[in-house]
């Protein structure tokens, strides 16, 4: 495909928009849980918010998993390769932060205030990390 293919440009733009939204949303949620969990907006505990955030976790996680499936940059050099690995790192870092948050904060007196979105990100990303890394390592043989 040509470097300026409109479909690739649209896909790259949408991928970037989803990644930025994902980082901002979950970065804010994690910061709130650690600093001000009792004052979180009520919408963060609604079913609609949980459904939207879980869908975003799946979407960004799927893109990250697809990137891991390309085997360490064998496809895409320059900006494409760098962007792909930034996607993977952002997803896994926020996922691990959510998993640690869930494990440490969910047992305290503020457990009822933690949005389900944080728990979903932690558990879904952990499962995806295991499958992705296993697939990646298995394909290197």
pLDDT in tens, 23-44: 999 999 999 999 988 888 999 9
Task: Quote the pLDDT of residue 97.
Answer: 94
Domain assignment of residue 112, yes or no: yes
**Please, what is the end-to-end C-alpha distance for the chain in angstroms?**
30
**Residue 96 falls within a domain, yes or no?**
yes
48 occurs within a structural domain: yes
pLDDT of 7 > 80? The answer is yes
The model's pTM is 0.78
Distances (CA, A) of 58 to 5, 31, 63, 82, 104: 26, 21, 9, 21, 23
Q: Output the pLDDT for position 31.
A: 94
- Provide the pLDDT confidence category of residue 74 given band limits of 50, 70 and 90: low
Per residue in 124-139, pLDDT tens? 888 877 776 776 676 6
Distance CA 53, CA 59 (A): 10
The stretch 83-95 carries a mean pLDDT of 85
Residue 110 inside a domain? The answer is yes
Residue 1 lies in a domain: no
Structural domains counted in the chain: 1
What is the percent of the chain with per-residue pLDDT over 90, rounded to a whole number?
Answer: 29
Higher model confidence: residue 73 or residue 58? 58
Task: Provide the domain limits for residue 42.
Answer: 6-139
Per-residue CA distances from 19 to 10, 45, 72, 130, 141 (Å): 14, 22, 20, 21, 31
Q: Using CB atoms within 10 A of its CB, is residue 29 exposed (0-12), middle (13-18) or buried (19+)?
A: buried
């Amino acid at each position: 495909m040509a470097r300026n293919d409109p479909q690739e440009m649209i896909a790259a733009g949408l991928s970037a928009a989803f990644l930025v939204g994902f980082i901002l949303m979950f970065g804010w949620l994690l910061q709130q849980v650690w600093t001000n969990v009792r004052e979180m907006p009520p919408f963060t505990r609604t079913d609609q918010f949980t459904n939207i955030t879980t869908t975003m976790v799946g979407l960004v996680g799927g893109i990250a998993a697809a990137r891991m499936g390309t085997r360490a940059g064998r496809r895409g050099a320059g900006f494409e390769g760098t962007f792909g690995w930034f996607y993977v790192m952002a997803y896994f870092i926020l996922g691990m932060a959510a998993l640690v948050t869930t494990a440490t904060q969910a047992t305290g007196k503020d457990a009822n205030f933690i949005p389900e979105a944080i728990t979903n990100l932690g558990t879904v990303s952990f499962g995806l990390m295991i499958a992705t890394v296993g697939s990646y390592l298995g394909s290197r043989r």
